[in-house]
Structure 1
Amino acid sequence: MTATLNETTLDVPVDVRFTAAGTPLAVRYDGRVWAVAAEPVHWFDRDSWWATRRTAPVGVGNVVAVEHWRVQVRLTSTSALRTFELRRDPLSEQWLLESIADN
């Protein structure tokens, strides 16, 4: 799954439904539910807290780990696959759709 020239950067809030094992099952975006159609890729990176100047109360926990999922999704079993990159910032429960790429 590599990004193509047809990639759109968004950063919009989305709802993500997870399996019992904790992997994405579906993403609600733009009023439609996109089903995950391939094995998702999961990773973490570090927030540049010194640049964002975010502060957190003492004892909150991890405030620098940004969680990411790259999922291939489709609307129907016959529609084309698209790649959604999802991000959840530290101290947030809201998932953001960071980008969409056509495969």
Structure 2
Amino acid sequence: MTAVANETTLDVAVDVRFTPAGTPLAVRHEGRIWAVAADPVHWFARDAWWDTQSTAAVGGGDLVSIEFWRVQVRLGPSNSALRTFTLRRNPLSTQWLLDNISD
């Protein structure tokens, strides 16, 4: 069994601002701006679309790639403690979700 320090699982919509290169720069969560303070980690996972949809339309786009970013953030330009946000974007969605927060 692995212990995780103070992890909160969420599934809430957030606004993410990106750099011109496409990496996260800041996250707006509950009306607060969290600035990215370290290099983010980016990866994709696969969704089992066949478990949630009865058919897949031809030319319907990428139905399986779930995009993730793990970012270390702090409140605005302050020296507040770093927190780790895991961001998720589901297939065919433009909305980012805050998957979890850990200290």
Give the counterpart letter for 1:90 in structure 2.
P
How far residue 50 of structure 1 moved from its aligned partner, in angstroms, is 2.1
Match of 2:16 in 1: 16
SS of structure 2 residue aligned to 1:50: helix
Alignment of 1:29 with 2:22, yes or no, is no
Alignment of 1:92-103 (within 5 A): 92-102=93-103
Coordinate RMSD, CA, aligned = 1.5
* Cα distance, 1:38–1:48 mapped onto 2, change above 3 Å: same
Alignment of 1:84 with 2:88, yes or no, is no
How many residue pairs get aligned? The number is 100
How far residue 55 of structure 1 moved from its aligned partner, in angstroms, is 4.3
Q: Percent of aligned pairs with the same residue? A: 72
User: Matches of 1:81 and 1:5 in 2, distance apart?
Assistant: 13
Q: Could you state the TM-score of these two structures normalised by the residue count of structure 2?
A: 0.90
Give the counterpart letter for 1:95 in structure 2.
W
User: Matches of 1:93 and 1:61 in 2, distance apart?
Assistant: 13
* Cα distance, 1:56–1:16 mapped onto 2, change above 3 Å: farther
User: Matches of 1:77 and 1:45 in 2, distance apart?
Assistant: 33
